[in-house]
Chain A
Amino acid sequence: MIAEAGHYALVLALALALIQSTVPILGARLHDPALMNVARSTALAQLLFVGGSFAALVTLHVTSDFSVVNVFENSHSLKPLIYKITGVWGNHEGSMLLWVSILALFGGLVAAFGNNLPLSLRAHVLAVQAWIASAFYLFILITSNPFLRIANPPIEGRDLNPVLQDIGLAVHPPMLYLGYVGFSISFSFAVAALLEGRIDAAWARWVRPWTLLAWIFLTLGIAMGSYWAYYELGWGGWWFWDPVENASLMPWLAGTALLHSAVVMEKRNALKVWTILLSILTFSLSLLGTFLVRSGVLTSVHAFATDPERGVFILLILCIFIGGSLSLYAWRASALKQGGLFAPISREGALVLNNLFLTTACATVFIGTLYPLALEVITGDKISVGAPFFNLTFAPLFVPLMIAVPFGPLLAWKRGDLLGAAQRLVAAGVVALIAIALLWAWTLGGSTLAPLAIGLAVFVIAGALSDLVERTGLFRLPLGTALRRARGLPRSSWGTVFAHAGVGVALIGIVCETTWNTEYIGSMKPHDVAHVAGYALTLDGVRQRQGPNFREMIAQFTASLDGERLSVMTPSKRSFTTRGSTTTEAALLTRGASQLYISLGDTAADGEIAVRIYHKPMVLLIWFGPVLMAFGGMLSLSDRRLRVGAPKPARASRQLQPAE
C-alpha cells in the first residue's frame, strides 16, 4: 500500500510538473498574472508530492518491507536504523528519487521566497525547473522505479553494500546533490533570461544567493566525500582523479567561476553574456556527471552498449537540455546588451582572469575524463588517463591563479592600480618568503618544490588577511575605530577573506600530506613495535567481536611518543556475512592537524597480521580548507544584500560601510 502510494505520488508530481512547464510560459506570453501564478502553486504541490513519495520509500526501508525489490536488494532487517535510512539513497533508484526530491525542494524554495521576483521572471524560472523535473520523473518512472514489488516476497534482504554502511553515506550524497541540483536554479534563471531576452544587475542579485547556496553544499559535499574515502578505503588516499570524482569537480570549478562572474555582473553590470553561459555550463556539467555515473559508461563502453536503457535515456536528457540551452544561448545571447566597461587591470579584470583559469582547469578535467571514452568509441584504442596526467596539467593552472587571488580584492573596480595593490601585499609577500626560507632550512636537501608551494599558500592566506587589515585600518587607525570598521564591513567582504584563506589552508594540507607522508608496511605479531615518524606503535593483541550484521577482528595498538603513552588505536576488519564481503575500518589518531593512520591487511597462517601505518602531517588542513571556504560562502550568503527574501535597507550601519 505504501509503495503504491509513493509510486502514485510520483506520477502526480509528473502531472504537476507538466502543467508547470507549460501554463506559466503561456501566461507570460499572454501577460496573464493568474496563469503565471500557477507556477507557484504547482511548484509547492510538487514538493509536497515528491516529498511524500520519498517519505514512502524511507518508510519501506525502515520497516524492511522486502516485498519491494529496492528494499530487498539493498536492506537487511538487522541493519542499524541509520543505515536503513541512508540505504534509501545508497542505490540507483533511491538516489534518483533523492535527486528529484532536492530538485523539487529548490523549486519550492524559489516559489516560496521568490515574491520579490518580477512575476514573469518567476514564471519562466519555475517553468524551466519543471522541464528538468518532468524529464527526470519520466526517467525514474520508466527505467528506475524504486517502488516495484516482488511476486513472492523473500523473508530477508540482501543487505546494503558494506562499504556504504557508514555515516559518510548519510551526509555525502545529500550534500553533493544539494550542490549539483542547486545549480539548476542558476540554469533556470539563465534560460529564463534568454527566453525573456532581458537581463540586468537585479537578475544577478537574485541568482547569486542561489549559486552561492549550491556552491557551499557542493564544496562541503566534495570535501566530505574525500574524507570518507580517506578513512574508509584504507590506504589513506583522499583524491584519486577518478572519473566519478571528476564528475563532481567539474561543476565545482565551473560553479566557482560562476560565483565570481556573477559578482562582476551584479556590481558592474558587465560580463552578462558570459555569466549566462557559465550558468548553463555549470548545470550541464552536473547533468553530465549524472550521465557518467548513472549510465555505467565509465565501467566500460561495452557495458553501456549491452544494457543501454538507462544510459540512453539520460544521454537523451543530456542532449536535449545542453543542446537546447546552448542553441537558445547562441540564438538570443546577442540580444543581451553588454554593459560596464573596465580596464584590463581592475577588479573586473582580476575576476575575468579567475574565470579564465577556472574554466581552463574545468576543461582540462573534462578532456581528461572523456578523452579515453571518445577515443575508444571512435578508434577502438584503449588508453588510461589517471592521476599522473591530471597532476601534470591541473597543477600548473592553479599556480598563476593562486598568485592572482590576493590581488583581486585589492584592486578597484573599473580601473585598478596594480602597483598600489602590490605595495599593500608587500607584507604578505615577506611573510611568504620567510616561510619558504624557514622550510628550506628545516628540510634541507629535501623537496625543493614543497616549500615554494607552501610559500604560495602562505601568500594567499596572508594576502586575504592584508585585505582585511586594509579595509578595517588595523595598525593604521586606533584599535577601537578598526574594530568598529570591522563590524561595519559587509559580511560578503568577510566571506571573501575566509574563502580565499581556505584555498591557502587546503593547499598547505595537500603539499604537506603528499611530500612528508611517512608509511610503514609490515607484518606484526602481538607485542611487536612499529616506528613511524617518531611514534612507536605496539600491537597489544587481537580480538573478535560480533556486530549487528557483521563480525569483526579488532587489533589493539598503543601509540606512544618518546616513551610517553598517548592513546589506544583499534583498527578492524569487518566481514559481512550476507554479502560475503569485508571492509577495513582504519584507526585514526589526530595530533593537531596531523594524523596517525592504521589499517589492517590479511592475517597469515602463523597469526601475523599485515599492517599499514601512516603518519600524515597536516592532513586535516585538506578538509579544513574547504570548510573555511564554505564558511566564507555562508557569511557572504548572510550578507544583508543577498539574503534570500526581500533585502530591507539597513539604516544605522550604512555610514560605516567603506566605499567599494
Chain B
Amino acid sequence: MKQISAQLLACLFAVSVMFGCSAVYAVQPDEIMSDPAKELRARDLSRELRCMVCQNQSIDDSEAPLARDLRLLVRERIAAGDSDAQVLDFLVARYGEFVLLKPRVEPHTLLLWLLPPLALAGGGVALWINSRRRTKSAAAGDGSTVKLTADEEARLQELIAEEPLRDRSV
C-alpha cells in the first residue's frame, strides 16, 4: 500500500491523489448496523478516524483492510453501548493519537489550535497599529511622491509630445 501511495504522489502534483489505498469503496454492505441511529453515529465517528496505513484518509473513505477492521471495531463498541467519547478513547488507547484526524487539545498540539486565532488577532492588531501610525505621519506631512529618473523624465516628455491634444483635456 505504502509503495503505491508513494508512487502516486510522485505521479501527480496536487489535488486528487488520495487513492493511496485505492479507495474505491469504503463502507461495505455487510458492515451496516441494523439500527439507523447507531449506524449514523458510526459513520460520523468513522469520518474522524484515520486509516493509519493510508495517506490522510478517514476509515469511512478507505478500502484498506485495516480501515474495515476499524470500522467493524467502532460498530462493535457502539453496539456494546459505548458513548462516542468512549469509542474514541478506546481507539486512542489502542492505536495512539495518530488515529484521530482532529487532534485533541493537549500541550503538544496547543500551538496547532492556537495559531489560527492568534494569526487573526495578530494581523488585526498589526493593521490597527499601522493605520494609527500612518495617520500620525500623515498629520506630520509626508512626501509620498515618487521621483522620476532622468531617462523616465525624457520619455515622459516624449509621450506627452506624441499624444494628440484632445486626449490631454480628459
Question: How far, in Å, is A239 (CB) from chain B's closest CB?
Answer: 9
- A360 CA to B126 CA, complexed, in Å: 13
- A289 CA to B14 CA, complexed, in Å: 8
Which residues of A are found within 8 Å of B56, using beta-carbon distances? 240-243, 384, 386
A586-631 at interface with B (beta carbon < 8 Å): 599, 601-602, 610, 612
Question: How far, in Å, is A195 (CB) from chain B's closest CB?
Answer: 15
A298-347 at interface with B (beta carbon < 8 Å): 298-300, 303, 337-341, 344
Q: Given that A200-B146, A393-B116, A601-B28 are known contacts, is A229 also in contact with B15, CB under 8 Å in the complex?
A: yes
Question: How far, in Å, is B129 (CB) from chain A's closest CB?
Answer: 13
Which residues of B are found within 8 Å of A200, using beta-carbon distances? 146
Whether the Cβ atoms of A173 and B12 lie closer than 8 Å is yes
Which residues of B are found within 8 Å of A228, using beta-carbon distances? 15-16
Instruction: Add 4 more A-B contacts to A92-B11, A172-B15, A341-B138 (CB < 8 A).
Output: A221-B15, A229-B18, A337-B142, A387-B58
B83-142 at interface with A (beta carbon < 8 Å): 96-103, 108-109, 111-112, 115-116, 119-120, 123-124, 127, 131, 134-135, 138, 142
Whether the Cβ atoms of B16 and A384 lie closer than 8 Å is no
15 of the cross-chain contacts (CB-CB < 8 Å) are A95-B13, A225-B14, A233-B16, A235-B61, A240-B56, A296-B6, A296-B10, A299-B55, A356-B124, A360-B123, A363-B116, A383-B98, A387-B58, A397-B116, A523-B30
Instruction: Report if A549 contacts B (CB, 8 A).
Output: no
Which residues of A are found within 8 Å of B13, using beta-carbon distances? 95, 173, 176-177, 180, 244, 248, 289-290, 293
Whether the Cβ atoms of B47 and A341 lie closer than 8 Å is no
Q: Given that A225-B16, A599-B24, A601-B24 are known contacts, is A371 also in contact with B111, CB under 8 Å in the complex?
A: yes
- A241 CA to B111 CA, complexed, in Å: 20
Instruction: Report if A534 contacts B (CB, 8 A).
Output: no
In the complex, what residue of chain A is closest to B27 when comparing beta carbons?
A521
Whether the Cβ atoms of B25 and A602 lie closer than 8 Å is yes
Q: Given that A303-B6, A521-B32, A584-B24 are known contacts, is A248 also in contact with B127, CB under 8 Å in the complex?
A: no
In the complex, what residue of chain B is closest to A385 when comparing beta carbons?
B103
Interface pairs A-B: 5 shortest CB-CB: A225-B15, A386-B101, A229-B16, A339-B144, A388-B102
Q: Given that A229-B18, A299-B5 are known contacts, is A387 also in contact with B28, CB under 8 Å in the complex?
A: no
Instruction: Report if A466 contacts B (CB, 8 A).
Output: no
In the complex, what residue of chain B is closest to A384 when comparing beta carbons?
B50
Whether the Cβ atoms of B112 and A379 lie closer than 8 Å is no
- A408 CA to B83 CA, complexed, in Å: 47
Which residues of B are found within 8 Å of A382, using beta-carbon distances? 96-98
A617-660 at interface with B (beta carbon < 8 Å): 649, 651, 654
Instruction: Report if B41 contacts A (CB, 8 A).
Output: no
Whether the Cβ atoms of B50 and A233 lie closer than 8 Å is no
- A237 CA to B61 CA, complexed, in Å: 9
A192-229 at interface with B (beta carbon < 8 Å): 198, 200, 221-222, 225-226, 228-229
In the complex, what residue of chain B is closest to A386 when comparing beta carbons?
B101
In the complex, what residue of chain A is closest to B109 when comparing beta carbons?
A383
Which residues of B are found within 8 Å of A357, using beta-carbon distances? 120
Which residues of B are found within 8 Å of A113, using beta-carbon distances? none
Instruction: Report if B72 contacts A (CB, 8 A).
Output: no
Instruction: Report if A164 contacts B (CB, 8 A).
Output: yes
Interface centre among B19, B138, B167 (most CB of A within 10 A): B19
Which residues of B are found within 8 Å of A388, using beta-carbon distances? 47-48, 101-102
Whether the Cβ atoms of B28 and A248 lie closer than 8 Å is no
* From B7, B131, B142, contact of A161 by CB (8 A): B7
* From A92, A610, A654, contact of B29 by CB (8 A): A610
Whether the Cβ atoms of B127 and A381 lie closer than 8 Å is no
Question: How far, in Å, is A606 (CB) from chain B's closest CB?
Answer: 13
Instruction: Report if A578 contacts B (CB, 8 A).
Output: no
Question: How far, in Å, is B101 (CB) from chain A's closest CB?
Answer: 3
Which residues of A are found within 8 Å of B111, using beta-carbon distances? 371
Instruction: Report if A279 contacts B (CB, 8 A).
Output: no
Q: Given that A240-B56, A371-B112 are known contacts, is A299 also in contact with B24, CB under 8 Å in the complex?
A: no
Question: How far, in Å, is A283 (CB) from chain B's closest CB?
Answer: 15
Whether the Cβ atoms of B6 and A299 lie closer than 8 Å is yes
Whether the Cβ atoms of A599 and B25 lie closer than 8 Å is yes
Whether the Cβ atoms of B97 and A91 lie closer than 8 Å is no
Instruction: Report if A185 contacts B (CB, 8 A).
Output: no
* From B11, B32, B119, contact of A364 by CB (8 A): B119
Which residues of B are found within 8 Å of A344, using beta-carbon distances? 131
Interface centre among A269, A298, A599 (most CB of B within 10 A): A298
Question: How far, in Å, is B21 (CB) from chain A's closest CB?
Answer: 11
Q: Given that A363-B119, A392-B102 are known contacts, is A235 also in contact with B25, CB under 8 Å in the complex?
A: yes
Which residues of B are found within 8 Å of A26, using beta-carbon distances? none
Instruction: Report if A90 contacts B (CB, 8 A).
Output: yes
Instruction: Report if B158 contacts A (CB, 8 A).
Output: no
B22-71 at interface with A (beta carbon < 8 Å): 22-30, 32, 47-48, 50, 55-58, 61
